[in-house]
């Protein structure tokens, strides 16, 4: 009987076509995930891909997970060649080489260089930052992290991170810019800026950090009640700055940029100013334990591996 066998063949064809379609959708994602795992392994040793090749490939991927791996290599590697390579690749990826970096590409260093000495915290003030905000940060850093503190006026150019259409600055590009200016990275650099900032995919953001790495950026612009039409209120401003500072520094001592699910933890995610106001000002027990350990490790000498 030809008719039934034809329809059976047709059904098989349709099933095969559907399977092929499903595979073309699923395979690239799986292959990408597998490749990311290989490259991540390569960053921790010579196999299965040479580390410089792995960095190059990661920096070329349009994938936030790949970018984080490059940032982590920047932040945690003890090999200056790897740090310089990751720094340069990140700069290339961010299209910032046309800035001040290109003439210095050969050395992988972008002046003016900030050396973060072991365990120290350097506040880099970018723009007019109110004295009460600075005082709040100094007090919080001294009491919570007990690190030697240094301060400087920001010497770096962020024009490549400017997005004139939005009248804002791209925080991811600013982060890359800060990293490009770091020499030794055994402490923490906290860039406190007056610029209005956003992270790609969001309308605005008040903070960004390298996970388990040396840099936090805090934008005070929108933390000021005046920005949203409110009355000047120093204590509200400083309280918000304090929480965002503790939150962001938490990211620099935690192994990933993931947020804590616990609302009673300052590392909880915030989506609005109301969320920031609702946020607590302390770390929960699990986050606090990891952070305390990493603060100690950083002060004693940067660990090779992030804690698990
Ligand atoms: Zn966060
Ligand atoms: Zn937590």
Ligand lying nearest the CA atom of residue 262: 2
> Where is 244: in which H helix or E strand?
helix 234-253
Antiparallel, parallel or unpaired: β 182-185 and 114-116: parallel
Could you tell me the CATH superfamily of domain 114-300?
Answer: Collagenase (Catalytic Domain) (3.40.390.10)
- Rounded (to 5) percent helix, strand, coil in the chain: 55, 15, 35
Q: Is the pLDDT of residue 245 over 50?
A: yes
Over its C-alpha atoms, the chain yields an Rg (Å, rounded) of 23
Query: Any bridge partners for residue 207, and if so which?
Result: 218
3-class SS of residue 276: helix
CA distance 226 to 231: 6
Name the token pair of 235.
Answer: 């204590």
Half-sphere exposure of residue 111, counting CA atoms within 13 Å on the CB side? 4
Cα(81) to centroid(ligand 1), Å: 30
Ligand 1 centre to CA of 124 (Å) is 20
Angle at 172 between CA 259 and CA 153, to 5 degrees: 105
* Selection from 109-113, 194-198, 251-255 with the highest mean pLDDT: 194-198
Cα 103 to ligand 1 centroid, rounded to whole Å: 34
Of the listed ligands, the closest to the CA of 288 is: 2
Residues in the chain: 308
Pick the ligand that lies closest to the CA of residue 258: 1
Whole-number Å distance, alpha carbon 257 to ligand 2 midpoint, is 12
State residue 74's pLDDT score. 61
Ligand number nearest to the C-alpha of 283:
2
| Span 59-84, pLDDT tens digits | 888 787 787 677 666 655 666 677 67
Distance CA 185, CA 165 (A): 34
Q: How far is the CA of 264 from the centre of ligand 2 (A)?
A: 7
Domain layout of the chain by residue ranges: 32-98, 114-300
What is the Å distance from ligand 1's center to 220 Cα? 15
Q: Which ligand is nearest to the CA of 276?
A: 1
- The 10s digit of each residue's pLDDT in 265-291 is 999 999 999 999 999 999 999 999 999
Confidence of residue 244 (pLDDT cuts 50, 70, 90): very high
Q: Which helix (H) or strand (E) holds 215?
A: strand 215-219
Assign 160 a pLDDT band (cuts: 50, 70, 90). confident
Q: What is the DSSP string of 125-162?
A: EES---HHHHHHHHHHHHHHH---EEEEE-----GGGE
pTM more than 0.75: no
The bridge status of strand 182-185 relative to strand 207-209 is unpaired
**In whole angstroms, what separates CA 185 from the centre of its chain?**
15
Taking alpha carbons only, the member of 246, 253, 234 closest to residue 276 is 246
């Amino acid at each position: 009987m030809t008719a039934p066998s034809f329809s059976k063949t047709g059904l098989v064809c349709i099933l095969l076509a559907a399977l092929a379609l499903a595979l073309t959708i699923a395979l690239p994602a799986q292959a990408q995930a597998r490749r990311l795992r290989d490259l991540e392994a390569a960053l921790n040793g010579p196999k299965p891909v040479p580390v410089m090749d792995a960095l190059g490939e990661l920096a070329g991927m349009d994938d936030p997970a790949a970018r984080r791996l490059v940032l982590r290599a920047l932040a945690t590697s003890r090999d200056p060649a790897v740090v310089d390579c990751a720094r340069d690749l990140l700069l290339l990826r961010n299209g910032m080489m046309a800035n001040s970096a290109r003439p210095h590409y050969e050395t992988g260093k972008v002046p003016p260089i900030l050396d973060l000495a072991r365990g120290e915290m350097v506040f880099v003030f970018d723009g007019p930052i109110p004295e009460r905000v600075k005082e709040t940060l100094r007090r919080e850093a001294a009491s919570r992290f007990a690190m030697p503190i240094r301060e400087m006026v920001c010497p770096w150019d962020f024009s490549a991170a400017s997005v004139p259409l939005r009248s804002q600055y791209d925080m991811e590009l600013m982060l890359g810019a800060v990293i490009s200016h770091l020499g030794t990275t055994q402490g923490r650099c906290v860039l406190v800026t007056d610029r209005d900032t956003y992270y790609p995919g969001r309308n605005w953001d008040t903070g960004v950090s390298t996970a388990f790495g040396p840099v936090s950026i805090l934008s005070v612009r929108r933390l000021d009640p005046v920005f949203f039409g409110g009355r000047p209120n120093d204590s509200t401003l400083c309280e918000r700055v304090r929480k965002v500072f503790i939150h962001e520094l938490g990211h620099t001592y935690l192994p990933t940029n993931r947020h804590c699910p616990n609302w009673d933890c300052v590392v909880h995610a915030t989506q609005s100013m109301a969320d920031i106001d609702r946020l607590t000002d302390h770390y929960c027990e699990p986050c606090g334990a990891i952070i305390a350990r990493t603060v100690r490790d950083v002060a004693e000498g940067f660990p090779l591996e992030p804690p698990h």
